[in-house]
Structure 1
C-alpha cells in the first residue's frame, strides 16, 4: 500500500481518500482534502501559506537534511517478491521511523533553544518603552514603604510591587448603564418608588416611557377610528 504525499500541503494522502486531479498531459496530482485542491486551482503558492510543509521547510522549521529522509524517496525499480526480504523491510521501516522521530525532537529542541530568553527580553523592552503608562505610587506612599522596609528588613521594590498589585485588584470597573431606584412624592402626599435606567450619560424614567407609549397607542386608535 503506497501512501503518497499531498501535492500542495505535503500531508499523507491515504488510498481511497482525498482527491486525484488528472491534467490533460496525463500528470496526476494527489490532494489530501478539498482545501488543498481549491488552493491548487486558485494557483496559490504553497511556500507562502504557513500551514503547508513547503513553507515550514523554507522557513527552517522542518528537518530537511537527514539520512532517514532518503528512505522515503520513491524508487521505480521492480523487486521480485521475497518473504524474508519483506519481513526485514517492515522491521527496518519501524526502526527508521523511531530514529526519525528522535532526530526531529532533537531538531525541535535546538530550534526552540533560547526562545524563552528572547520573549523575556522583548517583554522588558516593551515595559521600558511604555513605562509612563504604568501605575505609580505617591511620594507619601513611597516614604511609608521605605520606612516599613527599614523596620522589617524587606526589599523596597518588592513592597512597591505588592502595593501596586493591591491597588489594581481594589479597582472596580463600573458597567455601562444600569438601574437606579428613587422615591417620588405624589401630589396627594403619598410616596412611591420608581426605577430609572441609566443609559448614555443621563437617566431615563421608565414611567415616562410607558406614558409616551400609551399616548402613541391612543393616537393610532384615533387615526383608525377616523
Structure 2
C-alpha cells in the first residue's frame, strides 16, 4: 500500500483519498483535501502558512531532518539553512536542524521490497520500539519548547498585579472601614433541623 504526502501540508494521503493535479510540464501535485488545493491555486507558500508541517518544522515547532531544511545554492556551490541562511555548521546551534533518525523508516516505507518472512516479523517487532522512541522524543522536544512558559506566565501575572494594585484593598483598610466588607447574615435554624444535624454527626 503506497502512502503519498500532501504537497502543501505534508500530511499522509491514503489510497482512494485526496486530489491529484497534473501540470502542463507533467509534474504531479497531490493534495490531501480541497483546502490544500485551494491554497496551492492561490499561490501561497507552505512555509508561510502556520498550520502546515513545513512552517512548523522551519520554526522549530516539530522535529525534522537536516535534508528538508538545507538547500543547495548554485551560486556559492554550498548548502545553506532556510531559517538562518548560514552554512550547515549552524547544525549545533540552530534548533531547526534537529535530526531524527526515525524519519528514515518513513522514507523506506514506499520502497518495493521482496517479501521475507523473517524480515517482516522483525519489522513488526521493531515498530513498537520505534513508536515508543518517537513518542519519547516528541515529548522531550515539547518539554524543551515549554521550558520557560510557566515562569513567563508568572512574570506577566505579577506585572498585571502591579499595574492594577489600586483595585485591591489591603486588610488594614478593611478593618478601618467595615462598610467595605460584606455583612454577616444570621439564619434561624429550627429545633428539628438542629436535632437532625446532630443525629447525622453521630
TM-score range, shorter-chain basis? 0.5 to 0.7
Q: Which has the higher strand share?
A: 1
Please report the RMSD computed on the Cα atoms of aligned residues, expressed in angstroms. Answer: 2.9
Once the two structures are TM-superposed, the CA of residue 72 in structure 1 deviates from its matched residue by 1.4
Structure-2 residue corresponding to 1:11: 11
| 1:85 equivalent in alignment to 2:112 | no
Structure 1 residues 186-218: Cα deviation after superposition (integer angstroms, max 9, x where no partner) = xxxxxxxxxxxxxxxxxxxxxxxxxxxxxxxxx
Contact 2:6-2:13 at 8 Å conserved across structures: yes
Structure 1 residues 102-150: Cα deviation after superposition (integer angstroms, max 9, x where no partner) = 2111211222123111111112113323445x255798645368xxxxx
The more displaced of 86-95 and 26-35 is 86-95
**SS at the partner of 1:79?**
coil
* 1:135/1:20 CA distance change after superposition, 3 Å: same
Structure 2 residue ranges without an equivalent (≥5) = 65-98, 184-202
CA distance in 1, matches of 2:110, 2:16: 22
Structure-2 residue corresponding to 1:115: 149
| Residues 119-158 of structure 1 mapped to structure 2, 5 A cutoff | 119-132=153-166, 134-136=167-169, 141=174, 143=176
| 1:102 equivalent in alignment to 2:152 | no
Once the two structures are TM-superposed, the CA of residue 21 in structure 1 deviates from its matched residue by 1.4
Aligned residues: 148
* 1:139/1:109 CA distance change after superposition, 3 Å: closer
**SS at the partner of 2:159?**
helix
Q: State the TM-score, normalized to the length of structure 1.
A: 0.56
* 1:5/1:76 CA distance change after superposition, 3 Å: closer
* 1:126/1:47 CA distance change after superposition, 3 Å: farther
Structure 1 residue ranges without an equivalent (≥5) = 146-162, 168-226
Q: State the TM-score, normalized to the length of structure 2.
A: 0.62
| 1:26 equivalent in alignment to 2:26 | yes
Contact 2:2-2:110 at 8 Å conserved across structures: no
Once the two structures are TM-superposed, the CA of residue 53 in structure 1 deviates from its matched residue by 0.9
Structure 1 ranges of 4+ moved more than 6 A:
none
Structure-2 residue corresponding to 1:67: 101
- Which has the larger Rg? 1
